[in-house]
Structure 1
Amino acid sequence: MDATIGESMPSVERAFEGQPYHGFWGQVTVRAMLVAIVLAGLFSMVTLKIYMKVGVVGAFNMPINILSFVVLRSLVGLMRRCGIAASPFTRQENIFLQTSTITCINISLSCGFGNYFVGLFTVVAKSLNDNPDKRDIVDVSVGTYGFFLLTVGMVAIMATLPLVQIMIVDYRLLFPTGSVVAHLINSFHTPQGAYVAKLQVKAIVRAFVASFCWSMFQWFYTGGDSCGFGVFPTFGLELYKRRFFFDFSTTFLGVGMIVPHVVNFGLLFGAIISGAILYPYLESKRGQWYFTDSPSTLNGVNGYKIFMGLTMVVTEGIFNFITLTTALVIDFYKKTEENDSGAAKYILKHPSLNYDDRKRLEVFIGNRVPAIAGVVGYIGFAVICSVISHWIFREIQFHHLALLFTIIPIFIFSNTYGTGLTDWSVAPTYAKFVLFIAAASYAAPGAVVVSLIACGAAFMSLNISSQAVQDHKTAYMTLTSPRAVFAGHVYGIVIGSIINPLIYAFFDLKAKKTAPIGTPKSEFPAPYAQVYRAIALLGMGGVKELPKHSITFSFITFLITLSIETLRLVSQRKDWKVQFYIPCMTAIALPFLSGPTFAVDMALGTILRLIWTKVHRQSAELFSAAVAAGLVSGDGIWYLPSALLGLFKVEPPICMRFLPSGKEVQIADAFLNNLGTQGMT
């Protein structure tokens, strides 16, 4: 699927023609490595603290991107003022720095210190009162666990190498965050004198300032749970309960402006089908088909949501995987007489490519890491990880992870494909699916440990791999060597496997002995640790623990997805016009897994883009991507000061909350009036 937007914008790369292009060691520099350690340590500490406190943490990509540029550029300027010779700071070095840092942060997000790893501990098992078997608890040292993080991280990076050219060059997926970051970096580094680039930079700055100020303004009204504009019942309180509302997020508004409208409207369609039609029907069956209203367990309505959503995503992923593999085999046998399989061949096949794409293809394909290296590396690190996991966790046998690593490439493909379309990774949902299936398959003492570690390996593999291809998209659009990006990934995995366990050990020492990490009264309660362990315990009961008709709904979903994907493939081969109106099943599936809120935001973004194009097409083509980058960056960079305010216990002064009119308002008024009377006495 081609998810790109037609390019009629002035050439970006012509503005850089006069600059020398540095080789590998001009992009991978010692100064960037040192700065990466500092930034990675800072953001990993903030990420882990928030993760272990509340279980959810926002993305730091934009703050990292901007700080990477500011810090390294300032360092180069300082070196020159001190009389130290310093090579110019290039956008390629910038990409290596931020790739290393973001990879380390991705380990923070998926290493399990806020969920599955802590779920192994005795204190979490006792808090669930599950009378654990000693084979279902592991209190392993975090230093030893670092080896597990290192090997799984390398498995994830190796898995992406065969996918990079497929996703970026063949499928031409957008990878919205990667594209926004590339646009941002190109604008930062564009040589003076490029008039259009200067106008685009102004557009980015204006949108950035507006987005940052709006995010800061919203913060003042979030002084409590469920407070602020983020819970504004835009379409009424009843639809708000179904998560149908616009949450005033400039991040998803900006992403919606650059994601193709077919994808955005597919998200909205999935949100309506799931949240407005299917879920109300399923909730009406409580007491007949299932008996719990817990939002986290899989034996309630969540069992339908997750399994139907995953069925759509996995079915489309497998269908595309088989289709692509078949096409590649056919192409291989048809073109065996052609020796040149690189950029020249691709350019000949696509004579309409513009100057920028030709230039980018020359660098991207000419400096790519061979796919065979990724395959060999994947197999090698998968074997190493399977071996050392038995050494770290006594219940894990070699075949447990070996089987997982045999299957996981299909999930990596489908998750990366979905990320390329919508910017939304569902790695946590895949991980819970693996957790449940692994526990159900083992179904014996030790199943909790086996399933939680399998879940962790899946979580890390999927999360890191999807971000890695995002980074390659940024590299493609900035003429950064794929080998330099791969080096950034490896370096990020290495420092992340050291920094994150050290930070966790520091927090563990800081926690009170009477309230260790993972307990409800702890300073670091890691609330999702109990959720993950509970899913593992549920999974030990097998499929029979799922709600009634869950498998039937999933099978129907599979048939619908297969039919639509077949129709799409046939319509593309026959060049029917209907191909442009067939919804993307991965986009439809995401609201099943994550709720419809962001679908409303992104649909509004695409509507604004369509209106802008209708009013002034040239302006929209020139500046829409720049405005989107500014909106995403401003909201993203605000997350850093807001997180720091939280660390220093600075609370917002106001809580803005919404109530239905009538009796609830009267009760609230009476309480507030009584509170005021008490204050005066």
Structure 2
Amino acid sequence: MDATIGDVSVASSVERVFESQPPLPGTWGQVTLRSMAISVVLGTVFGFVGLRIMMKAGIIQALNLPINVLSFFFLKWLINLQRAAGFTTLPFSRQENVLILTTVTTCLNTAICGGFANYVVGMTSGVAKSLGENPDPRDIVDNIPTGRWMLFLFLIGMVGVTASVPLNQVMIVDYMLLFPSGTVQAHLVNSFHTPQGAHVAKLQVATIFKFFLGSFSWTIFSWLYTAGNDCGFSNFPLFGLELYKHRFKFDFSPTFVGVGMICPHVVNFALLFGGIISWGLLYPFLESKHGQWYHTDSASSLTGMNGYKVFICITIIITDGMFNFLTVIIASCIDIKHKRQDIDSGLSNYMKKYPSLNYDDRKRIEVFLQNKIPLTISVGGYIASATISVVVIPWLFDQIKFYHVATLYIITPVIAFANTYANGLTDWSVGYTYGKFTIFVVAAWIVKPGAIVAGLVACGIMIAALHISSQATQDIKTAFMTLTSERAMVIGQIVGVVIGSIVSPCIFLAFQKSEKPGVTIGSAQSHYPCPFAGLFRSIGVIGIGGVKELPKYCLTMCFAAFCIKIVTDVLSLVSQEKGWRMHKYLPNMTVVALPFFAGPDFPIDMCLGTAVMYLWTKMNKRSSTLLSSAVAAGLICGEGLFALPSVVLTTFSIQPPMCMKFFHSGKEVDVVESFLNKLGTPTKT
């Protein structure tokens, strides 16, 4: 990977390569009829695929990269077909490519956040009875007209989109957060559309596809050994089987190695630090208190270990979000005061603040500011969407009152800020964790018949607001790096919400019609068991009992986490203002908190990415500067694109042929060998 081409800062400029192309199309020049038509088709397909996987497995891989690739080739094929038929077509721009990406992604996220795999099915009598309940009729919702579901999804989806708009400039331009997936998608789109003849562009494109092929091939090979629980290379006990029990393992994930290569080393080591503190020290201590502080063995119940994990993690992240939110408000007030004294604004202010910005960043900031949505319109859009939801949602579900919904939408901006900030740093959204927390809080607030359904509805509102908003900002990062208009992106996101809110209930209705007589979705006999529906409802049942249902000392630990977070943030802010060196070594507590719930395995991969970058920089700094993002994009895209064949294999119930597991030496090995010997050897015929 040699890159002896002179000045790297000039040679690696992306936007200089695109200067030879026609001028940028305006907002409505990017929102084309053909892009919207393809978005409808791909949005419906991915909505069906995403919802089916969620209802069968409960979780779904990120499908952004397959959407990115398919949107490019689908539109390219359509344009070639039109030209072959003799029609005159507009040039295929990267901005149009990104618009399709955000529209389809928003459609998919609306389908996923619609709750048909978790909180919606959790409202049904079948799930309630499977948990041994004798439910009150007000805590059951078996049938809601499809039109009402469409309206509900549209409302919560619109709040999710409008919640993201005021955050875009703060997160992308002011804070300059990385948003790893958005950055990788931008590199991929830029590579697809790079004009021919640029040596550096060819080198970067070749690097992306070289590592893409390697990552994709490795993922296929790894899949062959995953025929069972805890099987395959993703469960490699690199640090021994004792630490493996606490999820300290190496999972050979090209995605997280690639993310680690482009994330700052401070973020990667903060993640690892959080994993060691939680899963290496705190949780083993709490496990030793089983039978004293808590009694359940359930891995999902909030009355056991999961209660500590969820509440400590959420306490740290919400506290950090509130602190940063207040900091931004205070800084904005000071900035407004200064602007009254200084008429200079816009791009020139950023040039003064960041004098070392390169050509690409200057160009991107300039285009972004020219096409940004005014703050009054973005905030007004959120207030309008929230106000309509406050009136309509209690009409759709009379178990939840207008003041419950209003309270959620008052606190949502703070929590959305915290979640999007964490997503920008680590590529990790904890929207579903906040959603589960919301079930507990709302059910504990109401504590009467109907509280469970109210908690599940509130969960849907919170998940949509947080997950859709963080993913929308992720897509805006892609737009920022491809000079796509923010206004066009928001239009695409609104169209995606419309498509998702119409298509998802229809798909769910089709799944219901396809079930065998007497079998309901969410039951063990169903084709769509929705494994997390029972968990979501159980949290509501526990919430009715209030905080006394939480394990012992859980709230005490949350208060301690709150105090540590405040002290760390204040110390970081003061050290930054005073110019103390310790500022560089203080970890971001939001990043530290993520492994508390997600586990320590992915930070290990990300730290490996940091190690790769360190060694590469030492050996050839110019090459690493030029090609590191391309290598990371290839690694992430290769594993990400395997989601598509994985969906096909799952759809046709094709299972991996082998299972690879690791056991302690000694007695366990003898037991396994004895079992395998009893199976016998097949005779030849």
- State the match for 1:656 in structure 2: 660
Alignment match, 2:47: 44
Q: Which residue number in structure 2 is paired with residue 564 of structure 1?
A: 568
Matched, 1:347 2:351: yes
Deviation for aligned residue 1:678:
8.7
Query: For residue 3 of structure 2, what is the aligned residue in structure 1?
Result: none
Aligned to 2:101: 98
Q: Tell me what 1:162 maps to.
A: 166
User: Which residue number in structure 2 is paired with residue 537 of structure 1?
Assistant: 541
Q: How many residues align?
A: 676
**Match for residue 12 of structure 1 among 14, 21, 42:** 14
Match of 2:27 in 1: 24
Please give the root-mean-square deviation of Cα atoms over the aligned residues, in Å.
1.5
Residues of 1 paired with 2:517 and 2:54: CA distance?
20
Q: Look up the match of 1:442.
A: 446
Counterparts of 1:241-640 in structure 2, within 5 Å, are 241-640=245-644
* Deviates most, 343-352 or 146-155: 343-352
Aligned-partner residue type, residue 15 of structure 1: V
In the alignment, structure 1 residue 142 sits paired with structure 2 residue 160: no
Cα deviation, 1:401-435, whole Å, max 9, x if unaligned, reads 11110111111000000000000001111111111
Give the drift of 1:9. Answer: 6.1
- Corresponding letter in the other structure for 2:580: W
Instruction: Please identify, of 61-70 and 8-17, the stretch whose mean Cα deviation from structure 2 is larger.
Output: 8-17
Is the Cα–Cα contact under 8 Å of residues 54 and 526 in structure 1 kept in the other structure? yes
1:478-532 CA-to-partner distances (Å, cap 9, x unmatched) read: 0001001111110100001011111111111111232210111211010100000
Which residue in 2 is equivalent to 1:122? 125
Please, which of 58, 63, 81 is the counterpart of residue 60 of structure 1? 63
Q: Does 1:109 align with 2:105?
A: no
Say which SS state the counterpart of residue 174 (structure 1) adopts: coil
1-side partners of 2:377 and 2:116: how far apart? 31
Distance 1:162 1:171 in 2: 13
Contact 2:248 2:601 in 1 (8 A): yes
Give the C-alpha shift of residue 679 in structure 1. Answer: 7.3
- CA–CA distance in 2 between the matches of 1:349 and 1:669? 66
Deviation at 1:661, TM superposition (A): 1.7
Distance 1:397 1:558 in 2: 30
Distance change >3 Å, CA 121–CA 567, structure 1 → 2: same
Structure 2 counterpart of 1:211: 215
- Residues of 1 paired with 2:434 and 2:262: CA distance? 26
Match of 2:456, as an amino acid? L
- Unaligned ranges ≥5, structure 1: 1-5
Counterpart of 2:582 in structure 1: which amino acid? V
TM-aligned CA distance change 1:8 to 1:167, over 3 Å? farther
CA contact (8 A) 1:313 1:586 kept: yes
Partner SS for 2:659: coil
Determine the C-alpha separation between the residues in 2 that align with 1:673 and 1:94.
56
Which AA in structure 1 matches 2:103? S
Given that residues 67 and 105 in structure 2 are in contact (C-alpha distance below 8 angstroms), is that contact kept between their aligned partners in structure 1? yes
More deviation in 90-99 or 661-670? Answer: 661-670
Between the aligned partners of 2:683 and 2:120, the Cα distance in structure 1 is 47
CA contact 1:515–1:523 (8 Å) conserved in 2: no
| AA in 1 matched with 2:115 | G
SS at match of 1:527: coil
The answer (yes or no) to whether the contact 1:223–1:653 under 8 Å persists in 2 is yes
Given residue 73 of structure 1, which amino acid in structure 2 is its aligned partner? K
Distance 1:504 1:196 in 2: 48
C-alpha contact (below 8 Å) 1:161/1:370 kept by paired residues:
no
CA contact (8 A) 1:8 1:621 kept: no
State the distance in 2 between where 1:63 and 1:613 align. 31
Is residue 33 from structure 1 mapped to residue 36 from structure 2 by the alignment? yes
Range that drifts further, 217-226 or 90-99 = 217-226
Q: How far did residue 345 of structure 1 move?
A: 3.1
SS of the aligned residue for 2:680 comes to helix
Which one-letter code corresponds to 1:430 in the other structure? Y
Confirm or deny: 8 A CA contact 1:167 1:417 kept in the other structure: yes
Give how far 1:673 is off.
Answer: 1.2
Determine if contact 1:138/1:393 at 8 Å carries over to the other structure: no
Using the alignment, how far apart are the partners of 2:316 and 2:126 within structure 1?
37
Change over 3 Å in CA distance of 1:358–1:511 after alignment to 2: same
The alpha-carbon deviation at position 182 of structure 1 amounts to 0.7
| Partner Cα separation in structure 1 for residue 119 and residue 683 of structure 2 | 46
Question: SS of 1:243's equivalent?
Answer: coil
Q: Deviations over 1:175-194 (max 9, x none)?
A: 11111111111111111111
Sort the Cα spacing of 1:477 and 1:678 in 2 relative to 1 into closer, same or farther, 3 A. Answer: closer
Q: Is the 8 A contact 1:263 1:584 kept in 2?
A: yes
> What residue in structure 1 maps to residue 5 of structure 2?
none
SS where residue 341 of structure 2 aligns?
coil
Judge conservation of contact 2:71–2:97 (CA < 8 Å) in 1: yes
Aligned to 2:89: 86
How far residue 396 of structure 1 moved from its aligned partner, in angstroms, is: 1.8
CA distance in 1, matches of 2:324, 2:258: 28
Counterpart code for 2:577:
R
- Letter of the aligned partner of 1:119 in structure 2? G
CA distance in 1, matches of 2:185, 2:455: 36
Give per-residue Cα distances to partners, 1:60-87, cap 9 Å, x unaligned: 0111111111111121112111211111
Correspondence 1:160-239 to 2 at 5 A: 160-239=164-243
Secondary structure in structure 1 of the residue aligned to 2:532: helix
d(CA) in 1 for partners of 2:319, 2:225:
42
Alignment check: 8 A CA contact 1:162 1:372 kept: no
> Contact conserved, 2:44 with 2:499, CA < 8 A, in 1?
no
**Structure 1 residue identity aligned to 2:365:** L
- Whether the aligned pair in 2 keeps the contact of 1:179 and 1:474 (CA below 8 Å) is yes
Q: CA deviation at 1:611?
A: 1.2
Is the Cα contact below 8 Å between 2:111 and 2:501 reproduced in 1? no
- Decide which of 152, 159, 162 is 2:156's aligned counterpart: 152
TM-score, with length taken from structure 1: 0.97
Q: Does the 8 Å contact 2:246/2:280 carry over to 1?
A: yes
